[in-house]
Amino acid sequence: MLLLVGLGNPGPEYADTRHNVGFRVIDEIVARHGFEPWRSRFHGLISKGKVDGVEALALKPMTFMNNSGVSVSEAARFHKIDKGDIVVFHDEIDLAPGKLKAKRGGGSAGHNGLKSLEGHLGADFRRVRIGVGHPGERGRVVGYLTNARFDDEDEKWLEPLVDAMVDSIALLQGENGDARFTNKVALLTKPPKAKKDSDDEDDA
């Protein structure tokens, strides 16, 4: 069983902000794969379902970002889920918008949600880093993540990326799942190659 975790902050004031992109991915997984209705458990919202035959739990911690580890560790212990089957979706300012990286383990890179998870679980869980870009100045990072919402221009890369991730979730299961997932998402979001216009070439 996979435990699919989206990191974010609860409340309408944080909806659609960059720091909540993990929530958005989890919401789409639950909606499009027909998961059960959300229930309040483990200091969060949890839903159960299957993705292409793979059993999965979806979890959105309601503890605020800095205490996400409380919710995730409780759910993992109760359901006896190995850390290698915990997949955490989160924003990453050090990746360009629309870029994605998936791996097991690693550092927190200053991300408070990951710091909390590492404090409760250790570092050996899996992460899907979703690039949201950097505001350019360190002092603007907090406001950029928690206050700035995705706009219409952002949606041009964000919507296809989320769609590709949701369509590829089942690939995360098993050995080398991170690489299979990343490659599939990259393939699905790759811009189409420009076609040569043979008529124009003939007229030249």
Q: What residues act catalytically?
A: 19
- Give DSSP secondary structure letters for 4-54: EEE----SGGGTTBGGGHHHHHHHHHHHHTTPPPPEEETTEEEEEEEETTE
Largest CA distance in the chain: 70
Question: Rounded CA gap, 68 and 7, in Å?
Answer: 7
Task: Check if the beta carbon of residue 82 is closer than 8 Å to that of residue 3.
Answer: no
User: C-alpha distances in angstroms, 187 versus 37, 55, 92, 172, 183?
Assistant: 31, 25, 21, 15, 6
Token pair recorded at residue 84: 């290698």
Query: What are the residues whose beta carbons fall under 8 Å from the beta carbon of 119, sequence distance 6 or more?
Result: 69
**Side chain identity at residue 20, one-letter code:** N
DSSP letter for each residue of 68-90: HHHHHHHHHHHTT--GGGEEEEE
For 156, half-sphere exposure in the C-beta direction (CA atoms, 13 angstrom radius) is 3
